[in-house]
Amino acid sequence: MMLVASVTFVLIRQAPGNPLATTFAGQALRANAAAQVGLDRPILVQYTDWLRHLARGELGESMVFRGQPVRALIFDAAAITLQIAVPALLLAAGLALGGAVLAAAASGRARRWAGGLAVLGIAIPVFVTAPFLALVIGVWLRVLPVAGYAPGDPTYLLMPILALALPLAASLYLVSTQALEEVLSHPSIRTARAKGLGRLHTVTGHAFRAAAIPVLSFAGPLVAATLLGSVVVESVFDIPGLGRVFLDAMTGRDYAVIAGTTLVTSATVILTNLVADLSYPLLDPRQGMTRETG
Amino acid sequence: MLRLALVFAMGLMAPTSVLGAERSLTLALPAAPLTLDPHQISTSPEFSVVLDLYEGLTSYGPTGDIAPGIAASWSVSGDGLTWTFQLSPHARWSDGTEVTAADVVEGFRHMLDPGTASPYAGFFFAINGAEALNNGTGGREGLGVEAVAPDRVDIRLNTADPAFPKTVALPAAVPRPVGRSSDQVLYNGAYMLADVRANDSYRLVANPHFRNAASVSIQEVVHMVVTDPNTCIRRFRVGDVQVCPYIPTDLALSLSDELVPQRHIPEITAAFYFAANTQRPPLDDIRIRRALNLALDRQVVSDQVLGGLMPPLYGVVPRGVEDYVTDPPRLDFMGRSPFDRQREARQLLADAGIDPENRVKLVLAHSTLGDDAALALYAADQWRALGVDIDFAARDFSAHYAMFDEDRDYHVATFGWISETRDPISFLELFRNDGAYNKANRTTGQIDQLMAQASQETDVTSRAAYLAQAERDVLDSETVFPLMNVRLVELVSDRLSGWKETETGLRLTRHLSLAP
């Protein structure tokens, strides 16, 4: 996590452009502004200063949004992103896992159709589905706000959640169905079927639990995809969340905010992977046992 | 029917508009303001919000003309070096206390203080002691802004500047309250900040203590951040916002029929150019620069590349400036036939050893924002036929403009410029050899001397004549290829009145009114 944030800290300073390039006209004014935000110091000094702040739980001040603490900027925005990301993940999981179970119990033709739909869901990028939803539901039908965010009003979140959830559900569906198919071809499942257990009962009662492990290992990439998708969704729907903060920071070369958001998002993905790893023994007790050799 | 069914199926009410009352207005901002400190702002969205919250000695009228602000009147001494501003007895802060001359002095001192790092400080270096204060070699007391009476301010300049009343209308020149409690933010504009949702919206309500509060029609204005122009158009269609301030050319040309009547295309004092890097071979050869310049057909750019939205530009100084000559210098080949221009371009390149058999490769740097890419493609197409191939160097906005100060890794680069003061100097300043910008990386010509002479001149006509000579000097050096007068494409609700064309693109909400 620190490695990711540190590499970002260095690399972004090597990229063309800087936080002051488009704001301050003239080299004298820019030099003065650089001194005010500490950009005139050697990169090593800036880095150690950043680490010192980090040890105190601070992320420094924004270089573009004058005087604003990065921590507050990120956490305020993250609180809004969570209101979209968590329901989107739950919705995606519900759609994908429910669909996978039904598909496993259904005929081959239905499975092919569902698989085709899922591939389509992945192939159509969120920057196409999100404006399409906004146009149809927001502008033509006018049943939901076309964009914007109002604290306490969930109607503004429904379309962003849906737009974010659809491609996630499609990816998760494909992973789930593949895992289920592998489990269903296992001899123990064939034995259960031979004993007269129904296909749906076999899937829900026996195969689903075994198939959950490969699905769980997909949690990390899924959370990463959610955070990535939120950049587009928040831009299309005018949501002042973490995705928009990151996009603004990248555009304005706000080094402090870029390093802060990278740290927070990489921490989120790593934490998700950790929780997933720790959950394996709950689903399959053999995963927690020490195997004796020899 | 489908809509009703969906409403009930989803258990939802139709969304309520952001508009709560008839006298409430929602304006979209194309980016989030980075600060609302008037002494630190620099971007258009910041100007939009801050001009509603504060006013300086002078202000902007409904058409963008200079009007009284907290100063009811002003005059200049015979030598043009001392400006006296008489403050209005009605000028008040939002707590009801008077705006005093001491507040004005403190405003200038704070803005020019190096610690403030005001991006607009350079606009005020004509004031005695301003540059020294800003670069840390002078003190606050040495600044030539003095409260000669509680309601009168004298400002002494080191060079005459007839356009000075325009300069003090900039938000960087607003007063700063002294001797008040520091925990209360005070405003002296038509509105006060009521509510901020960071990076999202800024709700302003009418300031009851504003010097002309009775004339303010709109009682609440919400400046809402809508970064995606497509989203802004959708929100405009459903009535969420009444103004979208920036619609890119391609979207402006494909608006639906219902929106076209609400499309405004005001001309602002702004220009778009290609700059040639005169220090990088082979563009150190004026023949090659002139050939590239000749090959660009401004009328084709305007009509075909930009759909007729942006008028062609044949000089350095665009339309809309004030206090300039009536017949400004123009490219000497303006009006010549395309065939004639192409013939001269081919001959010049042949003399320099370049033709379709002996080709040369140049780097054309452009921003990924706006119309830059389309213009770069057009130019590359024209130049390719002459034996000049192009490597495109596309960078995002920040990286592109930083390039002019960093590695200057380009032969030709796109750039645009806008002036809030409508002064021709704003544009000519870009090409001074000894200036802060020097976009064309020039080292030759008479421009530095001519600009220095203009800055010493108190007579407006003589000053304009020097500036026109400076423009001629830049054009003759073939270091800049003017392309277009920039216009803003906006969507403005037909319920909104008072939205006049302003040359600076700056508008104050207090001049607007909204029909129910």
Phi and psi, residue B379, nearest 5° = -60, -45
Which A residues in the span 62-121 are in contact with B, Cβ-Cβ below 8 Å? 64-68, 73, 76-77
Same domain flag for B65 and B24: no
Residue B466 lies in a domain: yes
B227–A235 CB contact, under 8 Å: yes
pLDDT at B267: 76
Same domain flag for B365 and B505: no
B231–A245 CB contact, under 8 Å: no
State the DSSP string of A264-276: HHHHHHHHHHHHH
pLDDT at A26: 59
Dig out the tokens for B480 from the structure: 């800049």
pLDDT at B16: 34
pLDDT at B407: 67
Residue B43 lies in a domain: yes
A145–B15 CB contact, under 8 Å: yes
State the DSSP string of A120-187: HHHHS-HHHHHHHHIIIIIIIS-SS-SS---TT-THHHHHHHHHHHHHHHHHHHHHHHHHHHHHHTSH
Give the mean pLDDT of A253-260: 86
CB contacts, 8 Å: B135 with chain A: 28, 32
Same domain flag for B279 and B135: no
A66–B231 CB contact, under 8 Å: no
A147–B226 CB contact, under 8 Å: yes
pLDDT at B12: 32
Dig out the tokens for B461 from the structure: 């006509």
B2, B199, B240 ranked by CB distance to A240: nearest: B199
Nearest in space to B170 (alpha carbons), one of B498, B416, B423, B415: B423
Nearest in space to B21 (alpha carbons), one of B211, B250, B219: B219
- Residue span of the structural domain in which B514 resides: 19-54+189-266+488-516
Which stretch of A11-15, A142-146, B77-81, B512-516 has the lowest confidence by average pLDDT?
A11-15
Same domain flag for B134 and B161: yes
Between CA A139 and CA B487 the distance in angstroms is 28
Q: What is the CATH number of the domain that holds B218?
A: 3.40.190.10
pLDDT over 70 at B503, yes or no = no
Q: pLDDT for B273-324, tens place per residue?
A: 999 988 889 999 999 999 999 999 999 999 999 988 899 999 999 988 888 9
CB contacts, 8 Å: B256 with chain A: none
Q: List Cβ neighbours of B220 (8 Å cut-off, separation of 6 or more).
A: B20, B21, B23, B24, B25, B194, B203, B204, B205, B206
Which ranges constitute the DSSP H helices of chain A? Answer: 2-14, 27-37, 43-55, 70-105, 108-123, 126-133, 155-184, 187-194, 199-202, 208-216, 219-236, 242-252, 255-283
A15, A17, A33 ranked by CB distance to B117: nearest: A33
- What are the b/e assignments for B179-212, b being 16+ CB within 10 Å? eeeeeeebbbbbbbbeeebbbbbbbbebbebbbe
pLDDT at A286: 65
pLDDT over 70 at B398, yes or no = no
pLDDT over 70 at B22, yes or no = no
Dig out the tokens for B35 from the structure: 């600060």
Residue B13 lies in a domain: no
Confidence band of B182 (pLDDT split at 50, 70, 90): low
Handedness of CA B41, B47, B52, B54 (dihedral sign): positive
Minimum distance, in Å, between the CA of residue B403 and any CA atom of chain A: 7
Minimum distance, in Å, between the CA of residue B358 and any CA atom of chain A: 33
Confidence band of B1 (pLDDT split at 50, 70, 90): very low
| Chain A nearest-CA residue for B439 | A26
Residue B369 lies in a domain: yes
B437–A253 CB contact, under 8 Å: no
Which of A11, A12, A24, A253 best tests the B interface by mutation, with the highest count of B CBs <10 A?
A24
Q: pLDDT for A2-38, tens place per residue?
A: 787 788 888 878 777 677 766 665 566 667 777 777 7
Confidence band of A205 (pLDDT split at 50, 70, 90): low
> In this complex, how many residue pairs, one in chain A and one in chain B, have their CB atoms less than 8 Å apart?
163
Same domain flag for B313 and B460: yes
A240–B437 CB contact, under 8 Å: no
Confidence band of B181 (pLDDT split at 50, 70, 90): low
pLDDT at B384: 94
B15, B43, B231 ranked by CB distance to A236: nearest: B231
**Residue located via tokens 């739980």:** A57
Task: Say if CB B468 and CB B451 are below 8 A apart.
Answer: no
Q: pLDDT for B65-91, tens place per residue?
A: 899 999 999 999 988 899 999 999 999
Confidence band of A206 (pLDDT split at 50, 70, 90): low
Confidence band of A224 (pLDDT split at 50, 70, 90): confident
CB contacts, 8 Å: B401 with chain A: 17, 21-22
Give the mean pLDDT of B209-217: 93
Domain boundary among B141, B173, B205: B173
Minimum distance, in Å, between the CA of residue B95 and any CA atom of chain A: 25
Residue B450 lies in a domain: yes
pLDDT over 70 at B442, yes or no = no
- What are the b/e assignments for B446-465, b being 16+ CB within 10 Å? bbbebbebbbebbeeeebbb
Same domain flag for B48 and B59: no
Share of chain B above pLDDT 90, in %: 55
Q: How far is CA B153 from the centre of its chain?
A: 28
Residue A36 contacts B, CB cutoff 8 Å:
yes
**Residue located via tokens 């290609």:** B274
Which of A36, A136, A146 best tests the B interface by mutation, with the highest count of B CBs <10 A?
A146
A25, A28, A148 ranked by CB distance to B135: nearest: A28
Residue B74 lies in a domain: yes
Give the mean pLDDT of B259-272: 88
B15–A131 CB contact, under 8 Å: no
Residue B377's Cβ-count burial label (10 Å; 0-12, 13-18, 19+) is: middle
Q: What is the DSSP letter of B304?
A: I
B13–A155 CB contact, under 8 Å: yes
Higher-confidence position of B253 and A206 = B253
Same domain flag for B209 and B299: no
Phi and psi, residue B241, nearest 5° = -125, 150
Between CA B251 and CA B264 the distance in angstroms is 13
A67, A146, A240 ranked by CB distance to B234: nearest: A146
A33–B198 CB contact, under 8 Å: no
CB contacts, 8 Å: B119 with chain A: 23-25, 29, 33
Q: What is the CATH number of the domain that holds B130?
A: 3.90.76.10
Between CA B386 and CA B347 the distance in angstroms is 10
Q: B331-336: long-range contacts (C-beta < 8 A, 24 or more apart)? A: B331/B293, B331/B475, B331/B482, B332/B475, B332/B476, B333/B294
Which of B18, B197, B231, B366 best tests the A interface by mutation, with the highest count of A CBs <10 A?
B231
Nearest in space to B227 (alpha carbons), one of A224, A257, A245: A245
Neighbouring CB atoms inside 10 A of A9's CB total 21
Nearest in space to B402 (alpha carbons), one of A178, A21, A218: A21
Same domain flag for B102 and B116: yes
Which A residues in the span 231-290 are in contact with B, Cβ-Cβ below 8 Å? 235-238, 240, 244-245, 248, 251-253
CB contacts, 8 Å: B235 with chain A: 146-148, 238
Higher-confidence position of B146 and A218 = B146
Q: How many helices (H) and strands (E) does chain B have?
A: 15, 20
| Chain B nearest-CA residue for A154 | B12
Nearest in space to B129 (alpha carbons), one of B110, B109, B149: B109
- CATH value of A70-283 in 3.40.190.10, 1.10.260.40, 1.10.3720.10, 3.30.230.70: 1.10.3720.10
Dig out the tokens for A238 from the structure: 């005018």
Confidence band of B460 (pLDDT split at 50, 70, 90): confident
Confidence band of A66 (pLDDT split at 50, 70, 90): low
Phi and psi, residue A120, nearest 5° = -60, -40
Task: Say if CB B444 and CB B433 are below 8 A apart.
Answer: yes
Task: Say if CB B466 and CB B453 are below 8 A apart.
Answer: yes
Q: pLDDT for B421-441, tens place per residue?
A: 788 988 888 887 765 566 666
Same domain flag for B344 and B462: yes
Higher-confidence position of A92 and A109 = A92
Share of chain A above pLDDT 90, in %: 21
Confidence band of B362 (pLDDT split at 50, 70, 90): very high
Give the mean pLDDT of B182-200: 86
Return left, alpha or beta for A196; rule: phi > 0 is left, psi -120 to 50 is alpha, else beta.
left
CB contacts, 8 Å: A149 with chain B: 197, 200
Task: Say if CB A23 and CB A288 are below 8 A apart.
Answer: no
Minimum distance, in Å, between the CA of residue B218 and any CA atom of chain A: 22
Same domain flag for B103 and B150: yes
Q: List Cβ neighbours of B180 (8 Å cut-off, separation of 6 or more).
A: B93, B95, B97, B186
Q: pLDDT for A163-187, tens place per residue?
A: 999 999 999 898 888 887 887 777 7
Which stretch of A103-107, B207-211, B284-288 has the lowest confidence by average pLDDT?
A103-107
Give the mean pLDDT of B87-109: 95
Share of chain B above pLDDT 70, in %: 91
B32, B234, B437 ranked by CB distance to A135: nearest: B234
Nearest in space to B457 (alpha carbons), one of B163, B80, B76, B157: B80
Q: List Cβ neighbours of B456 (8 Å cut-off, separation of 6 or more).
A: B159, B160
Residue B4 lies in a domain: no
Question: What do you get for the CA distance between the two ends of chain B, in Å?
Answer: 28
Residue B180 lies in a domain: no
Residue B21's Cβ-count burial label (10 Å; 0-12, 13-18, 19+) is: exposed
Task: Say if CB B426 and CB B417 are below 8 A apart.
Answer: yes
State the DSSP string of B279-297: TSTTTTSHHHHHHHHHT--
Q: pLDDT for A119-134, tens place per residue?
A: 998 899 889 999 999 9
pLDDT at B196: 87
Which stretch of B139-143, B352-356, B401-405, B421-425 has the lowest confidence by average pLDDT?
B401-405
A23, A65, A144 ranked by CB distance to B42: nearest: A23
Same domain flag for B48 and B101: no
Minimum distance, in Å, between the CA of residue B119 and any CA atom of chain A: 5
Local structure of B83: helix, strand or coil = strand
Q: What is the DSSP letter of B74?
A: E
A16, A68, A139 ranked by CB distance to B402: nearest: A16
Domain coordinates of chain A in residue numbers?
Answer: 70-283
**Residue located via tokens 């070699």:** B137
Which stretch of A12-16, A203-207, A271-275, B331-335 has the lowest confidence by average pLDDT?
A203-207
Dig out the tokens for B185 from the structure: 């933010």
Same domain flag for B289 and B229: no
Residue A27 contacts B, CB cutoff 8 Å:
yes
CB contacts, 8 Å: B400 with chain A: 17
B35–A66 CB contact, under 8 Å: yes
B228–A245 CB contact, under 8 Å: no
| Chain B nearest-CA residue for A37 | B117
Count of structural domains, chain B:
3
Residue B282: cis peptide before it, omega within 30 degrees of 0:
yes
A155–B15 CB contact, under 8 Å: yes
pLDDT over 80 at A192, yes or no = no
Nearest in space to A134 (alpha carbons), one of A270, A284, A239, A260: A239
Between CA B40 and CA A13 the distance in angstroms is 24
Residue B27's Cβ-count burial label (10 Å; 0-12, 13-18, 19+) is: buried
Largest CA distance in chain B: 77
- What are the b/e assignments for B296-328, b being 16+ CB within 10 Å? bbbeebbeebbeebbbbbbbbbbbbbbbbbeeb
Task: Say if CB A104 and CB A205 are below 8 A apart.
Answer: no
pLDDT at B434: 64
